[in-house]
Amino acid sequence: MHEKVVGASLPAVMALAYLGDARHGLYVREMLVARGICKSGELNEAALKYVTAEAQAEMMRKIEPLLLEDEAEVYRRAANSGHLNRPRHASAADYRAATGFEAVIGMLHWIGDGERLKMLLDKAHE
- C-beta of residue 67 within 8 angstroms of C-beta of residue 79: no
What span, in angstroms and rounded, lies between the C-alpha atoms of 91 and 16? 21
HEC string of 10-28 equals CCCHHHHHHHHHHHHHHHH
Indicate if 94 belongs to the active site. Answer: no
- C-beta of residue 104 within 8 angstroms of C-beta of residue 74: yes
Catalytic residue from among 21, 70, 94, 113: 21
Query: What is the total residue count of the chain?
Result: 126
Q: Which residues are annotated as catalytic?
A: 21
